[in-house]
Amino acid sequence: MAQQSHAMLPFSNHEKGKPMTWTPPPYADPAAFTEHDITLDAAGRTVPGTLTLPARPTGRGAVLLTGGGPFDRDETSGPNKPLKDLAWGLATKGVAILRFDKITANRPEAMAEPGYTMTAEYVPHGSAAVRLLAEHVDQVVLVGHSMGGKIAPKLAAEEPLVAGVVIMAGDTQPMQHAAVRVVRYLMQTNPEAVPPETVALFERQAVAADNVSPDTPAADLPFGAPASFWLDQRAYDPVETAAKLDVPILVLQGGRDYQVTVTDDLPAWRAGLPNATITILDADNHVFFAGEGPSTMTDYQLPGHLDPAVVTAIADWLP
């Protein structure tokens, strides 16, 4: 599978012939924290990460979980690093941060291997990250974006040190159905890039995912992910899992997000988590960059920064 946001559809990591570099967001003060390389060891594999420690700590810390796809710790896409924006913004406010490369970041081919699951990709190293960060702070919360937000309740249920969960654009609609919805939207907004044959392919693959068995060939399933991935998806209900947690929950949703939407995904969080704090940032797209008008795939190729309102919302909510 190609690198994806929300494990949904691929988008470019660069514009051909135009090298682009990340610059710090205006709300981050690099003098307010230090960063240290770390390594997480879990399930027989190690991954690199970064521990960000504020000069004036508040005793609070957050482990960041990237979206679906072989993302690095910063969720790098083109010139943008939304999770690095978030890490530096929160660290400026005194929150310690641990973020790490997913096990697929340097091995994207692993996402097509038999036995691959969302749970295996996130939970073991996520738990190791929580335990490491807990050595430096009094309280650790999870902040997950997109698929990272979807899996965060499961990690919190398995890791007792988690004191709260932030779900940023966490999807609740079955992924295979969301994929059809998204590809239809992209065909409408950019018909030259997404022909009708692509929509038809996603529709066939969604049916295969609905009826997946251990023997279903990966070639018949969305994104070429193996049957193990779709069986794991079918067995997991993020809202039901989150509802059983005895920790505070913050749900953030972008109003312009066409991948995880106010209409298709947020109602399940509202219905299932009556005590959660739910905030819609009307101007934000899927990666919580503010803008105007309908969001499209080209949004991800334009230099920008995480909406400062996200940093403020999380910092103010932290228990």
Integer Cα distance of 14 and 303 in angstroms: 11
DSSP state for residue 141 in the 8-state scheme: E
Q: Which residues contact 77 (CB under 8 A, 6 or more apart)?
A: 3, 5, 11, 13, 287, 300
> Beta strands 139-145 and 60-65: pairing type?
parallel
Which amino acid, 35? E
**Tokens, residue 39:** 């390594």
Which of 101, 257, 264, 284 is labelled catalytic? Answer: 257
CA distances from 151 to 166, 200, 241 (A): 11, 29, 9
Which of 6, 125, 145, 286 is labelled catalytic? Answer: 286
- 127 part of the active site: no
Integer Cα distance of 46 and 44 in angstroms: 7
Torsion 7-9-14-16 (CA) sign = positive
- 286 part of the active site: yes
Q: Which of 233, 267, 237, 240 is nearest to 253 (CA)?
A: 267
Which of 5, 127, 146, 228 is labelled catalytic? Answer: 146
- 29 part of the active site: no
**Residues forming the active site:** 146, 257, 286
